[in-house]
Amino acid sequence: MSANFQSQTPALNGIYSGLFTAAENIYAHLKKGSGLHIVETSNDSGDAQIGLDVIADEAFFDSLKDDPNVRYVVSEERPGLSKISDGDYSIALDPLDGSKSALIGIPSGAIFGIFKSAETDVDFHGGNIVSGGFFVFGMNLEVYFADGDKVFKGLFDQATSQWTILPITAPLPISNVWSINGANMTVWDDWLQDHYAALSDATNGQTPINIRWFASMVSDIKRLVLQGGMFAYPRANRKGYEKGHLRLVYEAIPMSFLIHAMGGASSNGQQSLLKTPVKTLHEKTPVFIGEADKIAALHKAQE
């Protein structure tokens, strides 16, 4: 691992290095096709795992376990907080996001958040996050992240094993695209059904929103970063979807941190995901992340 990147917070440099190294390892496994099968085990949340979920979790843990700045590592694939050292920073990970998509060749990835002052589950909230973003394991190995208030994108050159990290200074682009799984539409909350119907109305010459859904959050958020729009996974009045599908600590908060740093906004339907209190590490939350005026329109739709 070699990268032309220095964090605003020097203590994070070793953590980034560990994260990048793990991503390189996972990507190498994916390229070889290893771990692309359902395994007998499930994670603590009861989700079925593929082999690469386990490989990815171990790769991140291995590359962070000797860093004296890392206090805890928490992961979608682990039940609780794994203590590493007495350092000041804790890492929350979705080590392989979009694993079912990886099985059929759709780009998957990994999501990370770096939190300060975390001692228990409830401390992994948006007020404590100092870095957040994601890797994409696709045609290329890429990273998109906010280091404090600065946003970066990076590309890994497999020939030279060198990362090139570049700043993103432009604000979040604007587009008419929503990334949303409409399967639960008939059991969404009424206000959302009405709002979505209005946005999708193509009658009388109106231009409806365009829908794009990878079923891989990293790929859908990559589109949001590069093209703008809205990413949503709402709650629904259906068993198993009462709080949506995505996880607050290691999916919603890190992605929100990145999009907020680009001038966007987030919501659980009522309030910013960065202001949402955390009760437990693996809790789910409804997710809306995107352009600030689209989030504002969402809140207005409920008045």
By CB under 6 A, the residues from 47 to 76 that bind ligand FBP are: 47, 76
Contact between 220 and Mg ion (CB under 5 A)? no
State which residue, 94 or 220, has the beta carbon closest to Mg ion: 94
Q: Which does 99 bind (CB under 5 to 8 A by kind): Mg ion, ligand FBP, none?
A: ligand FBP
State which residue, 116 or 243, has the beta carbon closest to ligand FBP: 243
Q: Which does 147 bind (CB under 5 to 8 A by kind): ligand FBP, Mg ion, none?
A: none
Say how many C-beta atoms besides its own lie within 10 A of residue 262's C-beta.
Answer: 20
By CB under 6 A, the residues from 234 to 263 that bind ligand FBP are: 245
Distance between CA 35 and CA 127 in Å, rounded?
36
DSSP secondary structure, 1-44, as one string = --BS---SSGGGHHHHHHHHHHHHHHHHHHHHTTT-SEEEEE-T
Contact between 181 and ligand FBP (CB under 6 A)? yes
- Among all residues, whose Cβ is closest to ligand FBP? 217
From the list 8-16, 79-87, 95-103, 171-179, the region that binds Mg ion by CB under 5 A is 95-103
What is the nearest approach in angstroms of ligand FBP to the Cβ of residue 9? Answer: 27
Q: Which of 77, 97, 220, 291 binds Mg ion (CB under 5 A)?
A: 97
DSSP 56: H
Token output for 23: 């991503």
State which residue, 47 or 119, has the beta carbon closest to ligand FBP: 47
Contact between 24 and ligand FBP (CB under 6 A)? no
Strand pairing partners for 75?
A: 93
Closest CA to 94 of 241, 217, 183, 179: 217
Return all residues near 84 (Cβ < 8 A) that are at least 6 apart.
64, 65, 67, 70, 71, 72, 73
Strand (E) or helix (H) holding 144: strand 141-147
Q: List residues binding Mg ion (CB under 5 A).
A: 94, 97
Q: List residues binding ligand FBP (CB under 6 A).
A: 47, 76, 94, 97-99, 181, 215-217, 245
